[in-house]
Amino acid sequence: MAKLVRFDPFRELEALRREMERVFDTFLAERGVEGEFVWTPPLEVKETDDRYIVRMDIPGVEKDNIRIEISDNTLIVSGERKEEKEEKEGNYYRREIAYGSFYRAIQLPSDIDPENIKAKYENGVLTVEIPKSEKAKKREIKIE
């Protein structure tokens, strides 16, 4: 038996917005200001009770080629994936791996503790843990 689902135009608009954002991120961000190739690595942002966790897939990037900054509650991750060598022999039939610079800026809420941010890079995944300020953390109130 088929289940009826109530039509929600706002859900459809949100799905369209996400898809357009994905297209613009991959299509328009491919060329940087000076014409160099720029790629956009995928990321996820997760909130827990006491922190925000940003994970970004950037395989093939050397740790020394990653730069992490925080400015005005914006986390900025940039870097470069360098091509190992230029191959003179043969032609590519398909080339989907992006090389060159990347840049991601993630707006964060104002309740962060920028002094205690930690980052680690393991198996091609960058994880940045951004603690919430003490005022922003949930706490249980006991009834007297």
Q: Which two tokens stand for residue 139?
A: 């706490």
Is 126 part of any domain? yes
d(CA 127, CA 44): 10
pLDDT at 45: 94
pLDDT band at 57 (very low <50, low <70, confident <90, very high): very high
Is 20 part of any domain? no
pLDDT at 36: 55
68 has pLDDT over 60? yes
What's the CA dihedral at 46, 47, 53, 59 to 10 degrees? 0
**CATH code of 112's domain:** 2.60.40.790
pLDDT at 92: 64
Is 73 part of any domain? yes
Is 127 part of any domain? yes
Is 75 part of any domain? yes
The tally of domains found in the chain comes to: 1
35 has pLDDT over 80? no
Is 7 part of any domain? no
Judge whether 136 and 111 are in contact, CB under 8 Å: yes
130 has pLDDT over 90? yes
Is 118 part of any domain? yes
- Range from 16-25, 33-42, 93-102, 120-129 carrying the lowest mean pLDDT: 33-42
d(CA 49, CA 53): 11
pLDDT at 33: 47
**Domain region containing 120:** 41-84+98-136
139 versus 82: the higher-pLDDT residue is 82
> Which whole number is the average pLDDT over 8-16?
78
What's the CA dihedral at 13, 14, 15, 17 to 10 degrees? 90
Is 4 part of any domain? no
